[in-house]
Amino acid sequence: MAMSSLAEKVVAGDVRSVARLIRDIDDGITEVREVLKDLYPHTGNAYVVGITGSPGVGKSTLVDQMVAHLRERGKTVGVLAVDPTSPFSGGAILGDRVRMQRHSMDQGVFIRSLATRGHFGGLTQSTRSAIDVLDAMGKDYILVETVGVGQDEVDVVRSAHTTVIVVVPGMGDDIQAIKAGILEVGDIFVINKADREGTDKTLSDLRLMIEMDQKKYDEGGWKPPILKVEAVFDKGVAEFIDEIDRHARYLVDSGIGLHFRSNQERVRQELAEMVKGRLIEEVLNTLTDTGDFDRAVESITEGNTDPYTACDQLVLPTIRHSKESRD
């Protein structure tokens, strides 16, 4: 079958097939599911690093340096940019984009951006599927760059083995924002542009927050290190990669392991999201095809019903039948 042959090419590392498959995932082409099923047995070997932080903290420069270091260490690397402000995904100025191109001729590096936000399955599902593809393709490391605010981003980084939070000095308010949502998912903190004023203050603020969980570390939990980096001058990047390696060893030694699809909680989350996306896709498509959805919209705009009642009338018949069939 055509599908299996595409999967075979991906596993063989064919760049053109991988690019096509990731584009199809991003476009929400439903047929990719069959290819992903075929690829699944070939996944679970890559080490996934999530890199997140506010716009302007220099995530892409850091990712660019990480790629260079990992390549020097003989590792192959995949990069996924799901950050609308990233030069990888076309959000930033030309200079950045040119800088990235130093890896463009390297067969050991594969860089792609994901833009999907509006599709039913959502960005998280697209990202997970794209990670599977790069994993099956044989990349040793997969770096996923996201902009660090919002539930979407938190969900995306849950797919990573190591999550890196990047900040810059003097962003007091932003540390507050990090605190509110994303601190608990950070395995490593990087203070980038660490030549700037305010680095020590940012360092002590972060340290204070991290040490609030001291009890967890005393019981053998991972204590997130804070690293000073100047990505643009390649200062501190090697040490940063060493810390990622140290975290990987921690995951193995602590029994958490590297194969997340043997981890009940992660599988539960991933499957729930997949089911959600799939449900919405199937049912909304049907409601649209039959014209039921349009009729409901009309009925609301004409003032004949309210959206809450219309929703009941659209959804409940679908559900009731599925429940009855179980009895």
Q: How big is the CA angle at 108 (ends 248 and 166), to the nearest 5 degrees?
A: 45
Position 198 contacts a second copy (CB under 8 A): no
User: Under rule CB under 8 A, how many of the chain's residues touch a second copy?
Assistant: 76
Burial zone of 248 (CB within 10 Å; 0-12 exposed, 13-18 middle, 19+ buried)? middle
Q: Which of residues 27-66 bind a second copy (CB under 8 A)?
A: 33, 36-37, 40-41, 54-56
Nearer to a second copy, 19 or 316 (CB): 316
Q: Which of 68, 251, 258, 314 binds a second copy (CB under 8 A)?
A: 314
- CA dist 316 and 318 (Å) reads 5
232 near a second copy, judged by CB under 8 A = no
* Contacting range for a second copy; rule: CB under 8 A; set: 10-18, 20-28, 245-253, 302-310: 302-310
Of 106-114, 170-178, 196-204, 247-255, the segment contacting a second copy by CB under 8 A is 170-178
Q: Quick check: 157 and 144 in contact, CB under 8 A? A: yes
> CB-wise, 104 or 325, nearer to a second copy?
325
Give, as ranges, the residues between 118 and 137 that touch a second copy (CB under 8 A): 120, 123
**Per DSSP, what are the bridge partners of residue 210?**
none
Minimum CB–partner distance for residue 135 and a second copy (Å)? 13
- The H-or-E segment that residue 49 falls in is strand 47-53
The answer to whether the CB of 313 falls within 8 A of the CB of 304 is: no
Contacts (CB under 8 A) with a second copy, residues 147-166: 147, 149-153
Stretch that binds a second copy, among 102-110, 115-123, 234-242, 245-253 (CB under 8 A): 115-123
Q: Provide the mask over 260-299, with x wherever binding to a second copy is found by CB under 8 A and - wherever it is not.
A: -xxxx--xx-xxx-xxx-xxx-xxx-xx--x--x--xxx-
Q: What is 110-170 written as a DSSP string? A: EEEE----SSTTHHHHHHHHHHHHHHHHT-SEEEEEEES-SHHHHHHHTT-SEEEEEE-TT
Site of tokens 């009925």:
299
Q: How many residues are given for the chain?
A: 327
In the bound state with a second copy, the residue whose beta carbon lies nearer, of 218 and 302, is 302
